[in-house]
Structure 1
Amino acid sequence: MSVERICLLVGVALIGSGLIHLAILIISGGSWEGPVSWRKPATFGVSFGLTLITVVWVSAYLPLRDRMRRILLAVFALDCCVEVGGITLQAWRHVPSHVNRETAFDSGVSTVLAAGGGILVVVLGLLAVAAFRARAAPSMRLAIRAGFVTLMIGLASGAAMIARGVVAVNAGDQQRAYQVLGFLKPVHGVSLHGILVLPAIAWLLTFTSWDEARRTRLVWLAVIAYGVAVAGALIVSLT
């Protein structure tokens, strides 16, 4: 079985895990907020699954050697499993997953999740660089480039949240770390999925009778609109 197919199956499994935990959240009547909410394995499962499937798809447009592409996809898929797995494990233990230094085991899980985040930045950063040499029609090329830009904004905002939580932990205030950890959640959530939304729009436009110039203009409008949404989410996050 090819690496691409395995990654797609992993993505579907992660989405399935997220939906199962969403059902648990709804049935249990639990809170959507808080560091131990079932929201975390639900949203992370669906988000990582969708992102993995999308990255497999758009990576076909990138000028990468087959071996390098397979390696990057395999590392990304494994990292997705580690991230979702760690968050899900801590949800079932009813303890926070990120910046949790309350016990040696919790600290170990938190460290693995942080290291996994660093690997995400490296792998997706390499793909983002390759995206600016993407081999595709102008409309799709624009969508892929803009999508990776928003994805990197999402990763940067995630790193900023972890960093702020770590600062609070190092200052000796574990509970405050949980409180301040999600201060960029709106912009984090919106920007992560530009890599799915924008290329999907470009792909859907290929089913129309419009020429490539018109499709590219429409993708530009979509990119601008998505940029406004990311900026709006950032304002909401900071206020």
Structure 2
Amino acid sequence: MRTIDRVGYAVAAVLFTSGLVHLGVLVFSGGTWVGPVSFRKPTTFGVSFGLTVGAAVWASAFLRTSERTRAILLGVLMAASVVEVSLITMQAWRRVPSHFNFETPFDSTVSMTLAGGGFVLIAVIVGFTLAAFRTVYTPSMQLALRFGFSALVVALGVGAVMIATGVIQVRTGHPDLAYATAGALKPAHAVPMHAILIMPGLSWLLGRTSWPERAQLTIMRSAAVAYGLLIVGTIIVYA
């Protein structure tokens, strides 16, 4: 295993564990699952970023790209993920909102850093997606990688819309509406995010069977159509 892989899996494990720890804090403290200062945020962000980083490390190993380029992209992904989760966790413990919070200069810096980190993540995932479309592998894994990374771009794009919409609402004097409007897009953000784990994982499992590649590709195509319809349907319903 390469050094970048070991570091990546370690970072993913720390982020995921952080999410689980805060789930315990939420449960045993009797806190609420809703609201901008709930411990739900470090829980969901920790778990989601942990899974996403781990999946990206694993899936990117299949890509046709140089070791240096992959290491740089993974390094930026890990750094941005750690910053995002750390700032969200810090604000949760401070009992103030992490997003759309411009009450003080410090909180404004945190909110804008989180927004900027989101765009850094988009740039990194776009880089991986472009590499996925240059990758020649088994047809089923090619489809899985291209679908998974493309769906992750969609998820981050929805996240960018959530941030932009919330910032506009806050700047125009409607902070409560900002959380409600952005929060309504959470399902549309979450559903495509984990395709990068599910689709390559399914292809890998199929590769462990004795089924011919044609059968595996047929299953992957069906899964891609079903997942794609789920993504589109979720965006239509919640956008």
Same fold (TM over 0.5): yes
* Distance of 2:4 and 2:30 partners within structure 1: 39
**1:229 offset after TM fit, Å?**
1.5
Checking the alignment, whether the CA contact within 8 Å between 1:101 and 1:174 is kept in structure 2 is no
SS in 2 for 1:181: helix
Q: For residue 234 of structure 1, what is the amino acid of its counterpart?
A: I
Residue of structure 2 in register with 1:31 after alignment = 32
Matched, 1:83 2:108: no
* Distance of 1:185 and 1:68 partners within structure 2: 31
* Distance of 2:235 and 2:163 partners within structure 1: 17
Residue of structure 2 in register with 1:227 after alignment = 228
Checking the alignment, whether the CA contact within 8 Å between 1:168 and 1:176 is kept in structure 2 is yes
Q: For residue 211 of structure 1, what is the amino acid of its counterpart?
A: P
Normalised by the length of structure 2, the TM-score is: 0.96
SS in 2 for 1:153: helix
* 1:58-207 matched pairs, under 5 angstroms: 58-207=59-208
* Distance of 1:229 and 1:4 partners within structure 2: 31
* Distance of 1:9 and 1:135 partners within structure 2: 28
SS in 1 for 2:161: helix
* Distance of 2:21 and 2:47 partners within structure 1: 10
Q: For residue 53 of structure 2, what is the amino acid of its counterpart?
A: L
Q: Deviations along 1:143-167, whole A, 9 cap, x unmatched?
A: 0101111111101100001010011
Q: Deviations along 1:123-161, whole A, 9 cap, x unmatched?
A: 111111111112321100100101111111101100001
Residue of structure 2 in register with 1:53 after alignment = 54
Residue of structure 2 in register with 1:216 after alignment = 217
* Distance of 2:175 and 2:80 partners within structure 1: 26
Identity among equivalent positions (%) equals 49
Q: For residue 32 of structure 2, what is the amino acid of its counterpart?
A: S
Structure 1, 168-177 or 33-42: larger mean CA deviation: 168-177
For these two proteins, the number of residue pairs brought into alignment is: 238
Normalised by the length of structure 1, the TM-score is: 0.96
Q: For residue 91 of structure 1, what is the amino acid of its counterpart?
A: A
Checking the alignment, whether the CA contact within 8 Å between 1:63 and 1:130 is kept in structure 2 is yes
Q: Deviations along 1:56-112, whole A, 9 cap, x unmatched?
A: 111111121111111111111011000000110111011111111011111010011
**1:21 offset after TM fit, Å?**
0.6
Q: Deviations along 1:180-220, whole A, 9 cap, x unmatched?
A: 22121111001100111000000000121100010000001
SS in 1 for 2:191: helix
Q: For residue 198 of structure 1, what is the amino acid of its counterpart?
A: M
* Distance of 2:175 and 2:190 partners within structure 1: 24
Tell me, which stretches of 5 or more residues in structure 1 are unaligned? none
**1:231 offset after TM fit, Å?**
2.0
SS in 2 for 1:97: coil
* Distance of 1:208 and 1:54 partners within structure 2: 21
RMSD: 1.2
Residue of structure 2 in register with 1:237 after alignment = 238
**1:32 offset after TM fit, Å?**
1.5
